[in-house]
Amino acid sequence: MRKVALGGQTKKGQIMMSQHMKRSGNSRSKTRSIVKWLLISLASVLLFAIGLMVWFIMSLFSAPDLTNLPLYHPFKSAKAQEQYLNYYDTRAKQWPVASESKYVDTSYGNTFVRISGSPDAPVLVLLPSVGASSLIWLPNVKTLSEHYRVYAIDNIYDVGRSVYTRAIKSSDDLVAWLDEVITVLELGDHISLMGLSFGGWITSQYALNFPHRLHKIVMIAPVATVLPIPFEWAWRGIFSAMPGRSMMKKFMVDWAFQDLVRKQDDVSRKAVEDILNDAVMGLRCFKFKMPVTPTVLEDQEWQSIHVPALFLVGEHEVVYSAQEAIHRLNTVAPHITTEMIPNASHDLTIVQAEMVNTKVIEFLSP
């Protein structure tokens, strides 16, 4: 009887164990299925996000068909044109001195120029940074125009009132366009040229190609030019170009203009807001692309610049190390005057406007 009972219990235990193993197997199978489904879903989301980002970047930097330009070119639409120009003209009312404006017709299109200062004063041409118009010089133009006839230009292939009708594909195109503007304006062959960031790089290229037209040049935090652009600049640029003010502020403005952002007084907060609004409006309204990737000048190129030149950089510059940039110039081209601006980053013309103005005027004086 005991053997029968034991046998029955053993058989019952085997059945229960078999059922338990079956349930465990089913559970593991379900877990594997869920994990597999989650991985497939995650991969799909990632692929979609990557595809969306690629599409966005391609659409952002694609150029329009220049053979059949709409009336609202270079804007995305007639509504975008109206919105931006209203914004631009409202901002232009902050220009602190009397000015006149001109459209200069060139083979690359119409270039907008804002002119201030005495007609008898020495000529100073100003080139803006990328994604900015001539209005970037608002903190500087009052002081500069007391000493110079200031010509603040809207880059033909960027935001502002200039309208391009021909693609710009190289630095040769940029300097050819700029030389046409200078020629049409009849500025002569003794001008001073000053550029900020991308405009600083254009200034260096113009000095290499048309030195006979120049009196002196000033390069303010010229992007690339001295040292390579860091990868951080590239990925921040991509994220900041995505829709939404918060992306632009977080990934670009708070980083590149960090000294200005930290000040937190009313004037500085307004300046940060203006920078953010300018950038967002440009991205929202324009169909444009950066025409040329700025390059780093070779040693022999720096050594071939015989025009008196001033290099200004903020001590907290983010496009490269200010200390390394000055060291390179002092080593390969000691004839270039270098100055480091304290408590400033890529915002030096704003956060340290008075100091920058003073150094520029002192350098440009005969």
| 315/71 Cα distance (integer angstroms) | 45
Residue 202 lies in a domain: yes
- Please tell me the total count of domains within the chain: 2
pTM for this entry: 0.84
Domain identity same for 216 and 295: yes
In a domain, 261, yes or no: yes
Last residue of a domain, one of 62, 87, 104: 62
**325 lies in the same domain as 357:** yes
Same domain, 152 and 260: yes
* Strand-pair partners of 216: 192
Residues 17 and 93 placed together within one structural domain of the fold: no
Task: Say yes or no: 26 and 103 in one domain.
Answer: no
d(CA 203, CA 214) in angstroms, rounded, equals 10
8 is written with which tokens? 């029955």
| Residue 73 located in a structural domain | no
| Residue 71 placed within a domain | no
Q: Residue 3 has what pLDDT?
A: 46
If DSSP states are collapsed to H, E and C, what string results for the chain? CHHHHHHHHHHHHHHHHHHHHHHHHHHHHHHHHHHHHHHHHHHHHHHHHHHHHHHHHHHHHCCCCCCCCCCCCCECCHHHHHHHHHHHHHHHCCCCCCCEEEEEEECCEEEEEEEECCCCCCEEEEECCCCCCHHHHCCCHHHHCCCCEEEEECCCCCCCCCEECCCCCCHHHHHHHHHHHHHHCCCCCCEEEEEECHHHHHHHHHHHHCHHHEEEEEEECCCCECCCCCHHHHHHHHHHCCCCHHHHHHHHHHHHCHHHHHHCCHHHHHHHHHHHHHHHHHHHHECCCCCCCCCECCHHHHHHCCCCEEEEEECCCCCCCHHHHHHHHHHHCCCCEEEEECCCCCCHHHHCHHHHHHHHHHHHCC
CATH of the domain at 180: 3.40.50.1820
Residue with tokens 């292939």: 157
Mean local confidence (pLDDT), 189-209: 98
Domain span at residue 35? 1-62
- Average pLDDT of the chain, as a whole number: 89
| Of 173, 229, 231, residue with least CA distance to 202 | 173
Whether 48 maps to a domain, the answer reads yes
* Same domain flag for 136 and 280: yes
Asked if residue 199 belongs to a domain, the reply is yes
| Lowest mean per-residue pLDDT among 20-24, 54-58, 211-215, 283-287 | 54-58
Whether 143 and 91 map to the same domain: the answer is: yes
- Are 90 and 233 part of one and the same domain? yes
Peptide bond into 74 cis (omega under 30): yes
Kindly state whether residue 132 falls inside one of the protein's structural domains. Answer: yes
Could you tell me if 47 and 114 lie in one domain? no
> Over the stretch 151-187, which tens digit does the pLDDT of each residue have?
999 999 999 999 999 989 999 999 999 999 999 999 9
- Judge if 100 and 242 occupy the same domain: yes
Q: Is pLDDT above 60 for 56?
A: no
Q: For residue 254, what pLDDT band results from cuts at 50, 70 and 90?
A: very high
Question: Is 316 part of a structural domain of the chain?
Answer: yes
Q: Are residues 3 and 151 in the same domain?
A: no
In this structure, the answer to whether residues 239 and 106 fall within a common structural domain is: yes
